[in-house]
Amino acid sequence: MTILHHPGDELVLGYAAGSLAESWSIAIAAHLTYCPICRHKVEAAEHVGGSLLGGLEEEALAPSALDLVLSQIKGVEQEKPEQWQASIEESSPSKQESILPSALQSYIGNDIDSLPWQRLGNDVSQYLIKTNDHEAKARILRIKAGRPVPSHGHRGRELTLVLSGSFEDEFSKFRAGDLEDVAEETVHKPIAAAGDDCICLAVTDAPLRFKELIPRILQPVLNI
């Protein structure tokens, strides 16, 4: 499995520092299950952060500490990919067991088919994950093979982590473990690849902006 799309350094550092809201944290933790590169970044950040920040004035230290963490992360990026191969195989979720990373199983169990899916039109279903997060919402989306999510823009940020299957939008192709980070000004229309349904974790901090009328009408009811 080759992960091509990773969270940005600010999300990885935020995760390592424990400063992300719960729903963003779930997405990063789930991505880490698939991605040894980002796991190494988190470890480097925790290591550097722990040894530097302990007992020192935060104000005086902040800029240089961040530089140091980022330089450690660059070091991680320069390591050879084969060093990670073993851990990829050990840690990837097994197809026979569950497609869900453990960070998600603790919220929703391990049987994706038994979730009380809520339909969002003909092609997409969702399950809203119960969290204590008031900043962002996390949901599992199931997009039928070969079918699109209605074109939408964003009032905030949207992180989408593929758990199973794949999708493509105007920007790239995303497979299991890939994380797409979409900003407020972006409009896109994700389409699931033919073959298998695409199951994703999506985290948003504001309602989406749908172009088409029907999703727009249903939006308040469906909490999307």
Site residues, Zn ion (CB under 5 A): 6, 35, 37-38
Closer Cβ to Zn ion, 38 or 112, answer by number: 38
Closer Cβ to Zn ion, 35 or 45, answer by number: 35
State the CB neighbour count (10 A cutoff) for residue 37. Answer: 18
Closer Cβ to Zn ion, 5 or 139, answer by number: 5
Q: Which of 17, 8, 13, 218 is nearest to 118 (CA)?
A: 218
Task: Supply the minimum distance, in Å, between the C-beta of residue 88 and Zn ion.
Answer: 11
Closer Cβ to Zn ion, 155 or 173, answer by number: 173
Closer Cβ to Zn ion, 191 or 202, answer by number: 202
**Residue 121: left (phi > 0), alpha (psi -120 to 50), or beta?**
left
Q: Which of 113, 208, 161 is nearest to 11 (CA)?
A: 161
Task: Supply the minimum distance, in Å, between the C-beta of residue 42 and Zn ion.
Answer: 10
DSSP single-letter state for residue 112: G
Amino acid at 188: H
Q: Which helix (H) or strand (E) holds 154?
A: strand 152-154
Task: Supply the minimum distance, in Å, between the C-beta of residue 164 and Zn ion.
Answer: 17
Q: In what order do the strands lie in the sheet with 118-120?
A: 118-120, 124-128, 137-143, 198-204, 158-164, 179-182
How far apart are the two ends of the chain, measured CA to CA in Å? 31
Task: Supply the minimum distance, in Å, between the C-beta of residue 178 and Zn ion.
Answer: 9
Closer Cβ to Zn ion, 37 or 201, answer by number: 37
Task: Supply the minimum distance, in Å, between the C-beta of residue 34 and Zn ion.
Answer: 7
Task: Supply the minimum distance, in Å, between the C-beta of residue 35 and Zn ion.
Answer: 3
The packing angle between helices 9-17 and 22-34, to 10°, is: 110
Q: Which of 177, 221, 146, 171 is nearest to 1 (CA)?
A: 177
Amino acid at 192: A
Closer Cβ to Zn ion, 172 or 223, answer by number: 172
Task: Supply the minimum distance, in Å, between the C-beta of residue 56 and Zn ion.
Answer: 29
